Amino acid sequence: MFQVKRFVAILMAATMIPPVGGFAANHRSAPITALDHPAGITDWYAFVSYDDPTKVTFIMDVDPLLEPSNGPNYFPFDPNVTYTMKIDNTNDGIEDITFQFQFTTQFKAPTLPLGFVGAGAGINGPANAPASLSSPIPVSGAVIPPAITSLSGAGAAGLNYSQTYSVTMITGTGATAVSTNLVPAGTTLYAVPSNVGPRTMPNYTALAKQGIYNLGNGVSVFAGTVDDPFFIDLAAAFDSLNFRSGSSFIGTGGVLSANQDQNDSQNYAADSLSGFNVNTIALQVPISMVAKSSASPVIGTWAATYRSAQTIRSAPSPITTSGALQQVNRMGNPLVNELIIGVGSKDTFSMSQPNDDKQFANFALDPILARALNAVYGITVPDPPRTDLLPLVQYSGPTIPDGTPAGPVADMLRLNTSIPPTPQSARKRLGVIGGDLAGFPNGRRVSDDVVDIALRAVAGAVCGAPVSATGKKTVCTAAGNPFAGTQVPALGDGVNTNDVPYQETFPYVAFAQSGYSRIHRNAGDKTCAQAAGCPAQ
């Protein structure tokens, strides 16, 4: 009876394979979030901090495909959305710790039509200036206030659209939950606005760095608009796996040459997200704050957004909300909702909890992406059920310590906090399947190429993949699997890196692209994030 139950459990777990369709993260996923961008989670990252292995960093990106020049108000956080980061440290798929963020909007000059304005030391009206009934500018005599150099105070005179936020840590759930305000008394947290351009914000990097706050006790936070850290040939992925060949690839479209595959700093096709921004909340905390103990270092993580149950629009009065918070969207591993869950169930998935994910099992028992790769490129893929991908939905696999409870089937990004960060010079975009244990699916770093990883995983790369640091490996149990212990083709979209370099210190993402000078790459462009230029293919 035990063997039967275990087989059923394994079979059920194998049917919930999160990243088998790892394209575009969640930039366009469920219908409910396609119509509610501020509550739509685009990406979720969790990793041991590069420059401090005693801490872990969580990054939640929301509101996809933000055009940097799209004024006048650009892309504020929605004050009616509650943004959360959740951690399971007891292996049951239920949050034990929640970090909650709530934003508040302030208009300094309500009669001014622009959210952000400024130039130099300010521009006063000339002698022939027309008469004015009243001045909307919060600087006496100025038509244009000074350039924005600060998030508050005198240097923020032109920062008309200003947002502040709170950070609350909630331990436990339900009636016994305990809430703790993590913001020190007398401290105001300001969200960093979009990068309008060099006249309005002449030193944007310095301005953005002001949005990095140390809250004490080893906790740091940042919120604001940043460069979208995700990278992908979006058009090729969604054009029925029409990965580029010819000028972009050597040989067959969708299969990288050896040189292309080994080069983590060059793109051979255009990053469709180049020049776009996204709203991000980044939080860095001591590992001891979220892991159960040093003997139980593995955590399960995900992000979720909420809105109040009732919204009342009664013009011309402001929108009012009431009632209990209702979940709008969630994300653990990249791309479950986007390419695994059926359209009719996507909203249900968005609003459900990870420990209930067995209800979606049928969508992944026989992954469509695997059959698509087989049909389009003739690649032999493993037969279902796909038990080789079990580590992606349970506490198991080469980076999970022996004896760790597997827990229920649940879409969470699992991170072993005892595995130290990989130095930048040795970091591999393919993460664990590339021999870098600090990368996806052991958490997810901003530089991890989850598109290529997911393509190869669904083709069978996890089967028998060696992991030299531990000597452990995941062995396929599906009968007749042709890839057990072998290498699958070097599948990839040709986009190996972001269009701009990341940072090596918190918040790790690149600051927002300029609305004045951003560049959206053309489909045939090849780019690289390095000063020396792109090396030869």
Using an 8 Å Cβ cutoff, are 453 and 433 in contact? Answer: yes
Confidence (pLDDT) at 487: 61
Residue 78: pLDDT above 50? yes
CA 314 vs. chain centroid, Å, equals 35
State how far the Cα of 183 lies from the Cα of 10, in Å rounded to an integer: 44
State if pTM tops 0.85: yes
What is the longest distance spanned by two Cα atoms in the chain?
92
**Which pLDDT band holds residue 26 (cuts at 50, 70, 90)?**
low
pLDDT at position 484, please? 43
For residue 46, pLDDT over 90 is answered with yes
Percent of the chain with pLDDT over 90: 54
The stretch 121-147 carries a mean pLDDT of: 77
DSSP code of 388? G
Distance CA 454, CA 442 (A): 13
Q: Reply yes or no on whether the pLDDT at 467 is more than 60.
A: no
Least confident range from 53-67, 362-376, 475-489: namely: 475-489
Confidence (pLDDT) at 383: 79
User: Where residue 328 falls among pLDDT bands split at 50, 70, 90?
Assistant: very high
Q: How far is CA 89 from CA 304, 332, 406, in A?
A: 17, 15, 12
Residue 213 has pLDDT above 70, yes or no: yes
Cβ-based neighbours of 530, under 8 Å, separated by 6 or more: 265, 266, 501
pLDDT of residue 29: 64
Question: Which is more confident, 362 or 346?
Answer: 346
Q: How confident is the model at residue 350 (pLDDT cuts 50, 70, 90)?
A: confident
Q: How many CB atoms within 10 Å of residue 316?
A: 4
For residues 450-466, average pLDDT? 77
Nearest to 400 by CA among 456, 441, 455: 441
Of 268-277, 329-338, 429-438, which gets the smallest average pLDDT? Answer: 329-338
List of residues 6+ apart from 7 with CB closer than 8 A: none
The answer to which of 72-86, 87-101, 311-325 has the lowest mean pLDDT is 311-325
pLDDT in the model for residue 529 = 55
What does the pLDDT read at residue 140? Answer: 63
Give the C-alpha separation, 422 to 90, whole Å.
Answer: 26
Q: What is the pLDDT of residue 164?
A: 98
Highest mean pLDDT among 246-250, 365-369, 445-449, 462-466: 445-449
Average pLDDT over all residues of the chain:
84
Asked whether residue 159 carries a pLDDT value surpassing 90, the answer given is: yes
pLDDT digits over 501-512, tens only?
Answer: 999 999 999 999
pLDDT above 60 for 1: no
pLDDT of residue 337: 76
One-letter amino acid identity for 426? A
- Res 74: pLDDT: 94
Mean of pLDDT values over 361-384: 79
Q: With 70 as the cut, is the pLDDT of residue 398 above it?
A: yes
State residue 366's pLDDT score: 74
Q: What is the pLDDT of residues 173-212, one digit of tens each?
A: 888 999 999 999 999 999 999 999 999 999 999 999 999 9
**Which DSSP symbol is given to 513?**
P
Kindly state the helix (H) or strand (E) to which residue 206 belongs, with its residue range: helix 204-209
| pLDDT tens-place string over residues 240-277 | 888 886 434 444 568 888 888 999 998 888 899 999 99
CA distances from 260 to 102, 149, 244, 330 (A): 43, 42, 13, 34
Would you place residue 359 in the very low, low, confident or very high pLDDT band (cuts 50, 70, 90)? confident
Give the contacts of 390 (CB within 8 A, at least 6 positions apart). 10, 13, 14, 396, 397, 474
Is 468 a residue whose pLDDT tops 50?
no
> Are 190 and 147 in contact, with CB atoms under 8 Å apart?
no
Q: 211-225, 273-287, 461-475: lowest mean pLDDT where? A: 461-475
Q: Which of 501, 497, 494 lies closest to 524, judged by CA?
A: 494
